[in-house]
C-alpha cells in the first residue's frame, strides 16, 4: 500500500470550511485508490507558484515531512502543470500526483464495461501525454501502484506517435458505441425517461435499486460504479418510467474525463427530466449541488427540466428536514422531494412527481374505435391511460391520455375517428 502525504494549497479567498472539506474528500479518494494517508501539509496561497505550485519554503517542509513519514507518494489537491510535477519530484524525491491523476486512477480500477474502460483509457492517455517524460521515470522505478494502473503500464512505454494512434483508435471505437446508443434511445421513443445525476456517493444507485427492485452494486464509497444502468420503474396506476443511473460528479473533475464520458451522458440529453440527487445529510451539500450544476452546464445540459431529490433524510432529525424543506421551497423554484432510499415509504412523492410529469406530456383525446379492432384497443390500454369507455353498436368511444407520438400514429389509422380533442396536455 502506498504511503501518501496530501498537500492542500487553497487560495486565501476560499472559505476555510470548504478548504477543509476538500482535503477530507482527497483523503477519501486516496483511500478509494488503495493509498494510506500518513500526513497532510497545508498552505493558503495568493496565487500558485509558477515552479512548485506552493512556496519554496513549503516544498522543503514537504520534503522533510515525506522523509519523516517514510512516504513514497505526494498527492496535491489541485491540478499541477507537467513542469510543476517534474520540479516537485526532482526536489522531493518521490512520485507526485495531483487530484485529477488520482481520480483517473480510481476510474481505471472501477471501470467494468468495455465502453467505460475505453473512456477511462482515452482520458488517461490525453492527460498523461504531456507528462510522458515524468511517467517514463515512474515506470523505470516501479510497476503498478496508485497513479500507475490501467493503460499507464502498457501504453506509456510507447512513444508519442503510438499513443496518438491509440487515442485516435479509441475515439473511433467510442463513436461506434455512441451510434449504437443513439439507435437504442430511438427504440425507447415514447417512453418516459428519467436520468439520475448527482455528486458521487449521493445515493443514485441506491435510489435506482429502491425504485426498481433491481440488484445493483451499492457501496458507501466514492465512484462505486462507472457504468450507467437503465431499469424500468413501475410508478403505479399503470404508469412506467425508464430510469438511468449515471457516473457521479466530483469537484475538479478532470476535463478529459468529462469529455470522454460525454457519450455516456448523452442519455441525459434525451431525458424527459433530470433527477438531481443530493445528499441532504452532507454539510457541504450546497457546494456539491453547485458542482453538479456547473458540470451539467459544461455538458450543455443546464437547460434540461430538473427535479431536486434530497436523499438520506433518515440521517436528519425531523426539525432539520423541515427546515431544509422550507429553505429549498423558499429560494429554489425547481420541484423538490425529500426521501431516503433506505425507506421505501418515502419514495411515493417521487413516483407521484414522475406521474405528474408523464400526465403533463400526454394528449387528452376522445376517440371512436371500431369494436373489431382488438389490436388498437389493446394498445390504448397498454400504452395509454383510459379514463372512460362506452360502446354504441360496433363502435367503442374512449376518453384517453396518450403520449404525443402514440396519439399521432393512432389518428392515422382508418379504424380510428377523433371525437374530441380536450385541449393542451394536462
Same domain for 43 and 163, yes or no, is no
Domain boundary (102, 133, 148) is at 102
CA 43, distance to chain mean position in Å, is 31
Domain boundary (144, 174, 204) is at 174
**pLDDT of residue 10 exceeding 70:** yes
Same domain for 194 and 79, yes or no, is no
**pLDDT of residue 263 exceeding 70:** no
pLDDT at 155: 46
Domain boundary (358, 391, 406) is at 358
Instruction: Taking residues 234-262, report their average pLDDT.
Output: 83
DSSP state letter for 345: G
**pTM listed for this prediction:** 0.81
Residue 181 within a domain = no
Encode pLDDT of 285-341 as tens digits: 999 999 999 988 888 888 899 999 999 999 999 999 999 999 998 888 899 999 999
Instruction: Taking residues 2-29, report their average pLDDT.
Output: 93
Same domain for 279 and 408, yes or no, is no
Same domain for 20 and 161, yes or no, is no
Domain of 335?
188-358
| Stronger pLDDT, 113 or 199, i.e. the higher one | 199
CATH of the domain at 330: 3.40.50.300
| Stronger pLDDT, 350 or 331, i.e. the higher one | 350
Same domain for 375 and 343, yes or no, is no
The whole-angstrom separation of Cα 310 and Cα 295 is: 19
Same domain for 310 and 204, yes or no, is yes
308 Cβ contact list (under 8 Å, min separation 6) = 276, 278, 328, 332, 334, 335, 336, 337
Q: Quick one: which H or E segment has residue 6?
A: strand 3-8
pLDDT at 146: 61
pLDDT band at 180 (very low <50, low <70, confident <90, very high): confident
Given a contact cutoff of 8 angstroms between Cβ atoms, the answer to whether 227 and 113 are in contact is yes
Percent of the chain with pLDDT over 70: 86
Residue 14 within a domain = yes
Residue 282 within a domain = yes
Residue 288 within a domain = yes
Residue 183 within a domain = no
pLDDT at 408: 84
Encode pLDDT of 358-392 as tens digits: 888 888 999 999 999 999 999 898 888 899 999 99
Please give the grid coordinates belonging to residue 2. Answer: 502506498
353 Cβ contact list (under 8 Å, min separation 6) = 307, 335, 337
Same domain for 272 and 324, yes or no, is yes
Instruction: Taking residues 237-246, report their average pLDDT.
Output: 88
Q: Of 66, 305, 106, 60, nearest to 223 (Cα)?
A: 106
Same domain for 163 and 198, yes or no, is no
Same domain for 210 and 344, yes or no, is yes
| Stronger pLDDT, 344 or 110, i.e. the higher one | 344
Angle, CA of 57, 60 and 66, to the nearest 5°: 140
Same domain for 270 and 379, yes or no, is no
Same domain for 235 and 166, yes or no, is no
Residue 254 within a domain = yes
Percent of the chain with pLDDT over 90: 51
pLDDT at 46: 94
The whole-angstrom separation of Cα 13 and Cα 25 is: 19
Read off φ and ψ for residue 4, nearest 5 degrees. -120, 140
Instruction: Taking residues 187-200, report their average pLDDT.
Output: 83
Same domain for 353 and 223, yes or no, is yes
**Across the strands, what pairs with 380?**
none
Write the burial class of residue 63 (CB in 10 Å: 0-12 exposed, 13-18 middle, 19+ buried): middle
As for how many domains the chain has, the answer is 4
Read off φ and ψ for residue 306, nearest 5 degrees. -130, 155
Residue 164 within a domain = yes
- The CB-side HSE value for 161 (13 A sphere, CA atoms) comes to 0
pLDDT at 139: 44
Residue 157 within a domain = yes
Encode pLDDT of 117-175 as tens digits: 888 888 888 887 777 655 545 444 444 556 655 554 544 455 677 788 888 999 899 88
pLDDT at 166: 87
| Stronger pLDDT, 112 or 108, i.e. the higher one | 108
Given a contact cutoff of 8 angstroms between Cβ atoms, the answer to whether 341 and 210 are in contact is yes
CATH of the domain at 379: 3.30.70
CATH of the domain at 10: 3.40.50.11060
Amino acid at each position: 500500500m502506498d504511503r501518501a502525504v496530501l498537500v492542500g494549497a487553497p487560495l486565501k479567498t476560499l472559505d476555510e470550511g470548504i478548504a477543509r472539506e476538500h482535503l477530507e474528500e482527497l483523503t477519501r479518494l486516496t483511500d478509494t485508490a488503495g493509498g494510506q494517508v500518513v500526513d497532510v501539509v497545508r498552505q493558503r496561497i495568493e496565487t500558485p507558484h509558477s515552479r512548485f505550485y506552493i512556496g519554496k519554503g513549503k516544498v522543503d517542509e514537504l520534503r522533510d515531512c515525506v522523509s519523516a513519514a517514510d512516504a513514497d507518494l505526494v498527492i496535491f489537491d489541485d491540478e499541477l502543470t507537467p513542469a510543476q510535477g517534474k520540479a516537485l519530484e526532482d526536489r522531493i524525491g518521490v512520485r507526485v500526483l495531483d487530484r485529477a491523476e488520482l481520480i483517473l486512477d480510481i476510474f481505471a480500477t472501477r471501470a467494468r464495461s468495455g465502453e467505460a474502460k475505453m473512456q477511462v483509457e482515452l482520458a488517461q492517455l490525453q492527460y498523461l501525454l504531456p507528462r510522458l517524460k515524468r511517467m517514463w521515470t515512474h515506470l523505470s522505478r516501479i510497476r503498478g501502484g496508485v497513479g500507475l494502473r490501467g493503460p499507464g503500464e502498457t501504453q506509456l512505454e510507447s512513444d508519442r506517435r503510438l499513443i496518438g494512434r491509440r487515442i485516435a483508435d479509441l475515439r473511433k471505437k467510442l463513436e461506434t458505441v455512441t451510434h449504437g446508443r443513439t439507435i437504442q434511445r430511438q427504440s425507447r421513443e415514447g417512453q418516459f425517461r428519467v436520468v439520475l445525476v448527482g455528486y458521487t456517493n449521493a445515493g443514485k444507485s441506491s435510489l435506482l435499486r429502491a425504485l426498481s427492485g433491481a440488484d445493483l452494486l451499492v457501496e458507501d464509497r466514492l465512484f462505486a460504479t462507472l457504468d450507467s444502468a437503465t431499469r424500468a420503474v413501475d410508478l403505479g396506476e399503470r404508469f412506467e418510467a425508464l430510469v438511468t443511473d449515471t457516473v457521479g460528479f466530483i469537484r475538479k473533475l478532470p476535463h478529459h474525463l468529462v469529455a470522454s464520458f460525454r457519450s455516456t451522458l448523452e442519455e441525459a440529453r434525451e431525458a424527459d427530466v433530470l433527477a438531481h440527487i443530493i445528499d441532504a445529510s452532507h454539510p457541504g451539500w450546497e457546494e456539491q449541488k453547485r458542482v453538479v450544476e456547473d458540470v451539467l452546464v459544461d455538458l450543455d445540459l443546464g437547460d434540461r427540466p430538473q427535479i431536486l431529490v434530497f436523499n438520506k433524510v433518515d440521517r436528519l432529525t425531523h426539525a432539520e428536514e423541515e427546515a431544509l424543506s422550507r429553505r429549498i421551497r423558499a429560494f429554489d423554484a425547481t420541484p423538490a422531494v425529500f426521501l431516503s432510499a433506505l425507506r421505501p415509504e418515502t419514495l411515493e412523492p417521487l413516483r407521484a412527481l414522475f406521474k405528474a410529469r408523464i400526465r403533463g406530456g400526454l394528449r387528452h383525446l376522445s376517440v371512436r374505435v371500431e369494436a373489431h379492432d382488438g389490436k388498437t384497443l389493446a394498445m390504448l390500454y397498454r400504452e395509454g391511460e383510459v379514463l372512460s369507455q362506452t360502446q354504441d353498436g360496433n363502435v367503442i368511444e374512449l376518453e384517453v391520455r396518450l403520449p404525443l407520438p402514440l396519439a399521432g400514429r393512432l389518428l392515422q389509422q382508418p379504424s380510428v375517428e377523433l371525437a374530441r380533442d380536450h385541449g393542451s396536455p394536462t
